[in-house]
Structure 1
Amino acid sequence: MVNASFERENHAAYVTIEREEKLNAVDSETKQAIIEKLDEYREDDDVRAVVLQSAGDRAFSAGGDVQEIPDVDYSLSYFTETWEALFSKMRDLGMPTIAKVDGITLGGGFDLMLHTDFVVAADDARIGQPEVDLGIVNHFSPPMLLQQVGVRKTLELMMTGETISGSEAAEIGLVTRSVPADRLDDEVDELVETLVNKSPRVLKKLKEGIYASTNMSPDAAKVHLETVSLEAARNDPDYREGVDAHLEDRDPEWYVD
């Protein structure tokens, strides 16, 4: 049974994990369904952003379904391979992804949050990576945490397994922004509206370029992004349309191939 629903509205796709009784833990069948939907969205020019959210307000996701572990004879690779497939799809999607985080966000839910481009969290959300208490050496979180929050905070989060609030997560750069819980829906809606009205082609190239730059030296990253920028200005219509729209005091009309 797939414990998720999939909807589209105003150029955005919404993936909603629906398993409130299990704190929106993600089972393998649901994970695979999300992967397949992301493949569809990637080929759909009408979809310009993807929002990952969950039913209810108790949890964004408590992670993977721990009850599946004995069923696969405690194979960790069974779970890590499917999580990696999902995270790779998100990175290569070619459009922004947004996590709407409220309540409990732990384990695989924490990793899912980390692999989205934007994270909007309720200030009272509880966010942490307690896999150390399951005897798991987590390998998804540390590389990204090191880039986002530094060595000290990475060690603290990974080795203690303790949670922090959404507001503290925003303070240390772990999430994009934090708002009161009653403002969460509006904040996400406003961000989605902003993103879907940008050039899909420009956002795709920015996303790819920025992530590629994380593995480069500052000088190499500058050269790489400059090459992308100049090539786009020569070959794509967005630069001319953006400038003309500005000069003519109108909204740009972005062309999608």
Structure 2
Amino acid sequence: MGTVGFSIEGNVATVTLDRREAMNAIDPETEAELRAVWHRIDTDPAIRAAVVTGAGEKAFSAGADLKTMPPAESYAGKAFGAGDDSFVAAMPREKPLICAINGYALGGGLEIALACDIRIAAPHARFGLPEVKVGTIPGAGGTQRLPRTIGASDAMLMLLTGDMVDATEALRLGLISRIVSVDSLLAEAQSLAHRIASNAPLSVRAIKRLVADGGALPIDQAVRLERLVWGVLRDTEDRIEGRRAFQEKRKPNYVGK
């Protein structure tokens, strides 16, 4: 049996980390399965959005499984070879990802969540990047995405102490968008994903790319890029269909063209 569950309903995929006995920590087998799942989501045109969650109610993911570390390898070989990307860097970059955090999100688990576009969490969820406590640093985007998400000072507080924050504090910081009862968490995430997937696919992907790329640009350049992308989308079939459906008071039929 695999350690990553995968299912598709309509245009929405659901990915479930499933190593409950290890707080859904990521071992080499899980990493390999995640890479395959990320590729499937990225390349399957029928999938327009995805939900990422953990099995059970104790943890989303405790991050890398320190008890099952992969064999040591030359860092130069890894950095300049085919295996350079982490399991987080390999996540889909074009399609919206919603993270349903059902418990502890620590280390690489929080880094997966940070790489998602929307995060919602159960009331008992706890968040942390504790790598500094074991003599290392977050190595899958944590030191970069956390400050961009919650601001430098609050991020430094978490990164330098390695301490956890609870769901209420995570909501205050902007680390998550909502707190949802554990019984409703997955259904709420999937409902959000289906609402997003019902929108024009090219527009959804364009917005995600603009937010990601525009954040690194001066505002005037970012706005010019936005205007350029608006022009690219102006004459697409989906934009014409969206306006026609609005006029005819019906649900649009988007095809991603």
Counterpart residue number, 1:54: 54
In 1, Cα distance between the equivalents of 2:171 and 2:114? 13
Pairing of 1:71-90 with structure 2 (within 5 A): 72-73=71-72, 84-90=85-91
Is 1:207 the counterpart of 2:205? The answer is: no
Equivalent residue letter for 1:158: L
How far residue 51 of structure 1 moved from its aligned partner, in angstroms, is 1.2
Cα deviation 1:65-87 (Å, max 9, x = unaligned)? 10133x52498889999694433
**Paired residue total:** 254
Cα deviation 1:44-66 (Å, max 9, x = unaligned)? 22111111111100000000110
Counterpart residue number, 2:166: 165
* TM-score scaled by length of structure 1: 0.91
Counterpart residue number, 1:133: 133
Is 1:232 the counterpart of 2:233? The answer is: yes
Per the alignment, do residues 254 and 114 of structure 1 end up closer, same or farther by CA in structure 2, a change over 3 Å counting?
A: same
How far residue 183 of structure 1 moved from its aligned partner, in angstroms, is 2.8
Equivalent residue letter for 2:159: M
In 1, Cα distance between the equivalents of 2:30 and 2:37? 11
Per the alignment, do residues 185 and 110 of structure 1 end up closer, same or farther by CA in structure 2, a change over 3 Å counting?
A: same
Equivalent residue letter for 1:72: P
Pairing of 1:239-254 with structure 2 (within 5 A): 239-254=239-254
How far residue 104 of structure 1 moved from its aligned partner, in angstroms, is 1.0
Quote the RMSD (CA, aligned, Å): 2.3
Instruction: Please give the secondary structure, in 2, of the residue aligned with 1:51.
Output: strand
Is 1:109 the counterpart of 2:79? The answer is: no
In 2, Cα distance between the equivalents of 1:171 and 1:84? 32
Instruction: Please give the secondary structure, in 1, of the residue aligned with 2:53.
Output: strand
Counterpart residue number, 2:36: 36
Equivalent residue letter for 1:3: T
Per the alignment, do residues 169 and 190 of structure 1 end up closer, same or farther by CA in structure 2, a change over 3 Å counting?
A: same
Per the alignment, do residues 20 and 144 of structure 1 end up closer, same or farther by CA in structure 2, a change over 3 Å counting?
A: same
How far residue 227 of structure 1 moved from its aligned partner, in angstroms, is 0.3
Instruction: Please give the secondary structure, in 2, of the residue aligned with 1:190.
Output: helix
In 1, Cα distance between the equivalents of 2:36 and 2:111? 19
Equivalent residue letter for 1:36: A
Q: Is the 8 A contact 1:170 1:178 kept in 2?
A: yes
Q: Is the 8 A contact 1:128 1:163 kept in 2?
A: yes
Counterpart residue number, 1:3: 3
Q: Is the 8 A contact 1:167 1:179 kept in 2?
A: no
* TM-score scaled by length of structure 2: 0.91
User: Once the two structures are aligned, what percentage of the paired residues are identical?
Assistant: 28
